[in-house]
Structure 1
């Protein structure tokens, strides 16, 4: 799940190759990166691709660039993003009873298990219990969602502004190479 079957180097090479060939204006590609980086700070785990695509579409950004931008949120950076979002959310909401990341992670797995149990009750006829999910929502998920806006926006803007000159330079370089290939092909072709 964490380690690519073909290895990290090959996966990174593939992503780099695909990013270099994004067909759009530099501004739209940079807005797409913003959307992907921004959504990586939210607790919408499992929905980052959909959220990034939706934000990119709303901002008129490049949707494939947004999907590539979500790779910023990976197993190495997610604990940092979660901590930043949670602490910012606690600060914004004025929460006194704060939890650390090591206390929060078991709540995520328990919330998933509770949702599965409650859905099973619909088929078996049992009585679902939503109390643990309410506590999870108010103590963890909502502060993390509210807190993700500030660090997500800052990181997204940093990626957007940082990538824009690189994208412009890369597209100019590609255009020069393309023009040189076309000129060379014309020079080699027989004249009528």
Structure 2
């Protein structure tokens, strides 16, 4: 195998790497951010795609986040790849927090009072075991209402931050290319002995 270790990792090392990878826990997020920054679309298109993906990540439509993000990005003339990548905001670590936050906000907006305090585990238990007709009023309606507000707020922030980051990244890259081109243009003239520079 091409990338196999020379010395097989011990069981304890594999267990440690499962919980704390050698490259760190933030490496996937840094990779995604760099992947989004390097897209060849305009800053608006990339930012609109990220905003669409961010908004869809806040909806309770688990399994349909990418489809919703692509549809929204298409309507906003956003970059489809940026939209799909941005849906990773909803991941196993963040989905319980997002779901509970949207549910609580939706309850407050609609004036619904729960008889008991609902935890994220209880919320997912309901989503898993109740039918759609039983889920709509007590769970999905508040989550969709809360997702509308939180999702729009997060999408607005994501749009602004992404547009600024992409513009800055492209300006730095352009400046580096100009600097290299200036050095490359000056080098042949110096090799010919041209001192007029």
Match for residue 52 of structure 1? 69
1:17 paired to 2:16: no
Match for residue 148 of structure 1? 147
- Report deviation, 1:65: 1.4
SS at match of 1:164: helix
Structure 2 residue ranges without an equivalent (≥5)? 1-17, 193-197
1:64-103 equivalence runs, <5 A? 64-97=81-114, 100=118, 101-103=120-122
Preserved CA contact (<8 Å) 2:102 2:146: yes
> Highest Rg: 1 or 2?
2
Match for residue 177 of structure 1? 176
Q: Deviations over 1:123-179 (max 9, x none)?
A: xxxxxxxxx331112221222112210011111111111222221111101112223
Cα distance in 2 for residues equivalent to 1:96 and 1:185: 69
Cα distance in 2 for residues equivalent to 1:40 and 1:23: 24
TM-score for the superposition, normalised by structure 2: 0.74
TM-score for the superposition, normalised by structure 1: 0.75
Preserved CA contact (<8 Å) 2:48 2:73: yes
Q: Size of the alignment, in residue pairs?
A: 170
- Report deviation, 1:48: 0.7
1:165 paired to 2:184: no
Preserved CA contact (<8 Å) 2:37 2:165: no
